[in-house]
Amino acid sequence: MLTDPATMAPHAEDWRKRYRGKPLAVVFPANPEEVAAVVRLAGECHIGLVPQGGNTGLSGGATPDDSGRQVVLSLQRLRALRAIDPINRTITVEAGMTLAQVQTEAEARGLLFPLSLGAEGSATIGGNLATNAGGTAVLRYGNARELCLGLEVVTAQGEIWSGLRGLRKDNTGYDLRDLFIGSEGTLGIITAAVLKLYPQPAAIMTALARVASPTAALELLQFAQQRAGAMLTGFEYMAAMSTRLVAAHLGAVAKPCLQIIGDTRDGVGPQAADTVLIELSHPESESAAKEALETLLGHAITQGWVEDALVAQSGAQSAAFWRLRESITLAAAADGPHVKHDIALPISSLPAFIAAMDEELEQRYPGIRIINFGHFGDGNLHYNLAPPTLEGNPDTDTRRAHYLEFLGLHEDAIRRAVHDRVMAMQGSISAEHGLGQLRRDEARHYKSAVEISLMVSIKHALDPLGILNPGKVLCLDQSLPGDRS
Amino acid sequence: MLTDPATMAPHAEDWRKRYRGKPLAVVFPANPEEVAAVVRLAGECHIGLVPQGGNTGLSGGATPDDSGRQVVLSLQRLRALRAIDPINRTITVEAGMTLAQVQTEAEARGLLFPLSLGAEGSATIGGNLATNAGGTAVLRYGNARELCLGLEVVTAQGEIWSGLRGLRKDNTGYDLRDLFIGSEGTLGIITAAVLKLYPQPAAIMTALARVASPTAALELLQFAQQRAGAMLTGFEYMAAMSTRLVAAHLGAVAKPCLQIIGDTRDGVGPQAADTVLIELSHPESESAAKEALETLLGHAITQGWVEDALVAQSGAQSAAFWRLRESITLAAAADGPHVKHDIALPISSLPAFIAAMDEELEQRYPGIRIINFGHFGDGNLHYNLAPPTLEGNPDTDTRRAHYLEFLGLHEDAIRRAVHDRVMAMQGSISAEHGLGQLRRDEARHYKSAVEISLMVSIKHALDPLGILNPGKVLCLDQSLPGDRS
């Protein structure tokens, strides 16, 4: 247990340093029984508990408030591999094991745990499940939810629910597993999980394709799904501005991809274009994978959807393509502050959304830079907006001050415009990052009274004292069980 | 609205005629608003409502009790196709649409709705979701749960929750969708759903393979998943006794399969063997599918897992293979009364379970006939037991009386033995048929107090008056929210 503010500091704020709290203490139970004991004590003392895994969340879901009345409950010490069954293709791990370690354990048995995301080296499986993490393999394998067969959870009463079933079919009552998954620690504390493993594909092939437009990207996606079926395991979209920023701030990363993304060495190259990263996993062989990918892209070029494409000739080139995609966030951060979104839409609506949204924002904020990229195949875009650049070549401080001023004036209106359009098109304002603190009130703004009321009823039923991650997902002061209007 | 007992009769009992109730009335609302009005009225009058779709359930979940205080709420008239989006690959349908009709609507757009089960001509999509139906395509596409993206539900307060989202990613609060799915109408009444569609595979190929043992079947499954990945769309197991019954009672159905299942014309043929029906769906072509299946079976024969195999040479032959599998239930019914189970196990445990269970039952009940078949690839067996046959050739009535006597004496002990072993091996006593009335108390017998308590808390929170499908899934008299011991 830590109580010294200095040693507690890393647990008191999120890694992006957007939220900082004042925890009463940070505790490190070693097993589910100790987690249960902490929960019972918290119930007796009416102390809020904030479960924390790798602390890599993007919505402040694992950061305590500044009341000094919340205890951070770290799951770090629960990191045992409880069991692995290569024939049932399941692995049972404790919540504090990192995602990368789960991947490694699977690989060591010739198997694949397909969940994959930027923070996987630090993010824990407990946090992945609590937030129903997405990532780059959702297209084929689903979100964290779809990769979990069973859970062990400490309830708000400090009891241990043992639901560690490794079954593909089980219809014996309410789906408690899926209720806890994605509830961000507000209904129970996940201490262990049974996860699904898959056979390792014989070969994984990637290609980078320059597409004419979001509509062309959608045509390519449709065709690829028709022709490759479940072998299509990745389909990432990068609008021109995203890769242009990588070229400007991380030139070495962009270099191997310039043939496709456009010659953007000066940051404004006229040939800069929208790009798609496509990944195919084949169960048979590398040559079969390559042939399938080349046939597919050949047809797309004939159809005019793709203007130019590069099939990776080696693992290194494939890694270079992925690095381009994964460096966009870093490049945007290097460029300066911007407004982030994590939206989802019906896949069929992506081109119409992008066209209308781009136009609206460009009209209202001339010069605004639209850093639009993401998991196109899942309908999930990180539609981020950076302030217009300044004329001339101002120094860093001047530029930053200008950006901050722009955001101070417009961030709320931009967010409202984006989310309003997303909701009008039956989308989601949080596709894969959860609500935490960041999107809690925004979700409340858009959700129906019926939905909020159902959520509040469930929260009160499972955590009547409100000790589990208070203030996350739901603000209980806003709606009480009687408030069903 | 019906109130006459004669006209209500088809709604008052389940199709297998195991449960019969005395409904106060049967009502047929035409839209979600009318469903909501009925629910509000039921709340005011403290009347129980029993939602009913195609009335094809196997656990009595849609049959009212005999109190005369329950109203059957039929969803039959809610059968509109609300929307179809071939590019997003989603279809939005009302709860009363039959599963077969959903399949047909998808097919008409060149798409596939993969949920597939025997009763699909009458079973409704609302019932499929309420019970989280399984069927023959779970191996590749998942249960009904995995095929649903959004729901519209009438709550116990008679409000309409509009959760008809067609999104692959949405992390904005508790997973209400999955809570309602599989809750058998006890938490809310599903009135419409957004379902996932898939591209039609270019070719579907089936084969019938005689396997040396359940262990050999498991080896074949492992290898097929490794080599065919997501192209493996069916893997059904039929122990010798299952196909022997088809040969005995439905000779014409068995005939095209005799080469594989054994020459069982006299019902006791020594060559009768365990069989696997394997199905491959290929996104490219028929020849590619055939080649993949033949390569796979060739290797399995070399390895000794498969003794003989027949790859279907036509759609008709493929249909004949499936008819064999789907006729087992009918053949067993023609043979006489028997004990049915719907169990699931970790796939790795299937051979050990079958060996130990068969041995235990054969020792305790010499001559007992084990009709073991099912969705082996999902770990789901219909491990059914028929009484020993009589010596000589008794007439039907004598045989039936003998069977019923045996079951009267032993059914409870047999069920306990099977379920005890299933639970000891971390399995499920209801893989795809739900609890309804049939397995409610059995589930209660095995579930932990913590799990029952969580379920009861949720039931009380969402349906405080207990008007939604009372007595199904949970018996509330057995456990109240305070009972957390």
Q: Sort out which chain A residues have CB atoms less than 8 A from B462's CB and list them.
A: 454, 457-458
* Beta-carbon separation of A426 and B165 below 8 A: yes
**With 0-12 CB in 10 A as exposed, 13-18 as middle and 19+ as buried, what is B173?**
buried
Residue B16 confidence class, pLDDT cut points 50, 70, 90: confident
**Res. B268: pLDDT tops 60:** no
Looking at residue B164, what DSSP letter applies?
A: -
* Beta-carbon separation of A426 and B484 below 8 A: no
Angle at B130 between CA B127 and CA B136, to 5 degrees: 70
CA distance B22 to A209: 65
* Beta-carbon separation of A428 and B175 below 8 A: no
Q: Torsion angle, CA of A315/A321/A326/A331, rounded to 10 degrees?
A: 130
Confirm or reject contact between A460 and chain B (CB < 8 A).
yes
Spatial CA neighbour of B58 closest among B436, B475, B444, B470: B436
What does the pLDDT read at residue B262? 86
Farthest-apart Cα atoms in chain B, separation: 69
Q: What ipTM was estimated for this complex?
A: 0.95
Contact B89, B197 (CB under 8 A): yes
**Chain A contact probe: residue of B155, B165, B171, B451 with most A CBs at under 10 A:** B171
**Res. B270: pLDDT tops 50:** no
- Helix (H) / strand (E) element for A200: namely none
Confirm or reject contact between B455 and chain A (CB < 8 A).
yes
Looking at residue A206, its amino acid is T
B349, B454, B484 member nearest A176 (Cβ): B454
Residue B481 confidence class, pLDDT cut points 50, 70, 90: very low
What does the pLDDT read at residue B482? 39
Looking at residue B212, its amino acid is A
What does the pLDDT read at residue B480? 41
Confirm or reject contact between A223 and chain B (CB < 8 A).
no
* Beta-carbon separation of A85 and B379 below 8 A: no
Written as six digits, the tokens of B406 are: 């045996």
What does the pLDDT read at residue B263? 66
Spatial CA neighbour of A474 closest among A451, A440, A449, A432: A440
Residue A269: Cβ within 10 Å count: 16
CA distance B292 to B201: 14
Residues 6+ apart with CB under 8 A from A82: A92, A93, A94, A164, A192
Those of residues 174-203 in A touching chain B at CB distance below 8 A are 174-176, 178-179, 181-183, 187, 199, 201
Confirm or reject contact between A68 and chain B (CB < 8 A).
no
How many interface pairs between A and B have CB atoms less than 8 angstroms apart? 269
What does the pLDDT read at residue A45? 95
What does the pLDDT read at residue A149? 98
Helices and strands of chain B, counted as H and E runs: 17, 17
Nearest chain A Cα distance for residue B426, angstroms: 7
Nearest chain A Cα distance for residue B320, angstroms: 27
* Beta-carbon separation of A175 and B179 below 8 A: yes
Confirm or reject contact between B482 and chain A (CB < 8 A).
no
Residue B71: Cβ within 10 Å count: 22
Confirm or reject contact between A348 and chain B (CB < 8 A).
yes
| Dihedral (CA of B112, B57, B118, A230) sign | positive
* Beta-carbon separation of A175 and B178 below 8 A: yes
What does the pLDDT read at residue B264? 52
Contact A149, A90 (CB under 8 A): yes
- Residue count of chain B: 485
Residues 6+ apart with CB under 8 A from B108: none
What does the pLDDT read at residue A485? 34
* Beta-carbon separation of A380 and B169 below 8 A: yes
Stretch B311-323: mean pLDDT, rounded? 95
| Phi, psi angle pair for B279, to nearest 5° | -130, 135
Which residue is associated with the tokens 């050949």? A298
B427-461 pLDDT, tens digit each: 999 999 999 999 999 999 999 999 999 999 999 99
B242-266 pLDDT, tens digit each: 999 999 999 999 999 999 998 655 5
Q: Sort out which chain B residues have CB atoms less than 8 A from A182's CB and list them.
A: 171, 173-175
Q: Is B28 helix (H, G, I), strand (E, B) or coil?
A: coil
Three-class SS string for B311-341? ECCCHHHHHHHHHHHHCHHHHHHHHCCCECC
CA distance B171 to A472: 13
B24-79 pLDDT, tens digit each: 999 999 999 999 999 999 999 999 999 999 999 999 999 999 999 999 999 999 99
pLDDT tens for chain A, 485 residues long, are 999 999 999 999 998 888 999 999 999 999 999 999 999 999 999 999 999 999 999 999 999 999 999 999 999 999 999 999 999 999 999 999 999 999 999 999 999 999 999 899 999 999 999 999 998 899 999 999 999 999 999 999 999 999 999 999 999 999 999 999 999 999 999 999 999 999 999 999 999 999 999 999 999 999 999 999 999 999 999 999 999 999 999 999 999 999 999 865 555 444 678 999 999 999 989 999 999 999 999 999 999 999 999 999 999 999 999 999 999 999 999 999 999 999 999 999 999 999 999 999 999 999 999 999 999 999 999 999 999 998 888 888 999 999 999 999 999 999 999 999 999 999 999 999 999 999 999 999 999 999 999 999 999 999 999 999 999 999 886 444 333 33
Model-level pTM? 0.96
Residues 6+ apart with CB under 8 A from A404: A337
The DSSP secondary structure of A103-131, one letter per residue, reads HHHHHHTTEE---B-TTTTT-BHHHHHHT
B90, B431, B459 member nearest A171 (Cβ): B431
* Beta-carbon separation of A182 and B199 below 8 A: no
Q: Sort out which chain B residues have CB atoms less than 8 A from A138's CB and list them.
A: 168-169
Calculate Rg over the CA atoms of chain A: 23
Q: Sort out which chain B residues have CB atoms less than 8 A from A231's CB and list them.
A: 229-230, 283
* Beta-carbon separation of B227 and A155 below 8 A: no
Three-class SS string for B404-446? HHHHHHHHHHHHHHHHHHHHHCCCECECCCCCCCCCHHHHHHH
Those of residues 327-346 in B touching chain A at CB distance below 8 A are 344-346
Those of residues 104-133 in A touching chain B at CB distance below 8 A are 131-132
Confirm or reject contact between B295 and chain A (CB < 8 A).
no
B179, B226, B227 member nearest A174 (Cβ): B179
Spatial CA neighbour of B342 closest among A177, A163, A170, A175: A170
Q: Which residue of B has its CA nearest to A170?
A: B431
Residue B394 confidence class, pLDDT cut points 50, 70, 90: confident
Confirm or reject contact between A439 and chain B (CB < 8 A).
yes
* Beta-carbon separation of B454 and A349 below 8 A: no
* Beta-carbon separation of A426 and B166 below 8 A: yes
Long-range contacts of A146-150 (CB under 8 A, 24+ apart): A146/A196, A146/B142, A146/B146, A147/A113, A147/A114, A147/A115, A147/A195, A147/A196, A148/A177, A148/A181, A148/A193, A148/A194, A148/A195, A148/A196, A149/A90, A149/A177, A149/A194, A149/A195, A149/A196, A150/A92, A150/A177, A150/A193, A150/A194
Edge-to-edge strand ranges of the sheet holding A48-52: A25-27, A70-74, A48-52
**Chain A contact probe: residue of B58, B172, B350 with most A CBs at under 10 A:** B172
Looking at residue B156, what DSSP letter applies?
A: T
Long-range contacts of B313-319 (CB under 8 A, 24+ apart): B317/B256, B318/B204, B318/B205, B318/B206
**Chain B contact probe: residue of A164, A169, A426 with most B CBs at under 10 A:** A169
Q: Among A435-449, B292-306, B471-485, which stretch is predicted with the lowest mean pLDDT?
A: B471-485
* Beta-carbon separation of A284 and B138 below 8 A: no
Task: Break chain B down into helix, strand, coil percent, rounded to 5.
Answer: 40, 20, 35
* Beta-carbon separation of A379 and B88 below 8 A: yes
Which residue is associated with the tokens 């519209």? B152
Looking at residue A422, its amino acid is V
* Gap between the terminal Cα atoms of chain B: 44
Confirm or reject contact between B485 and chain A (CB < 8 A).
no
What percent of chain B is modeled with pLDDT above 90? Answer: 91
B426, B428, B462 member nearest A172 (Cβ): B428
What does the pLDDT read at residue A271? 63
**Chain B contact probe: residue of A82, A152, A171 with most B CBs at under 10 A:** A171
**With 0-12 CB in 10 A as exposed, 13-18 as middle and 19+ as buried, what is B219?**
buried
- Regarding beta strands A48-52 and A70-74, do their DSSP bridges make them parallel or antiparallel, or are they unpaired? parallel
A428, A443, A447 member nearest B167 (Cβ): A428
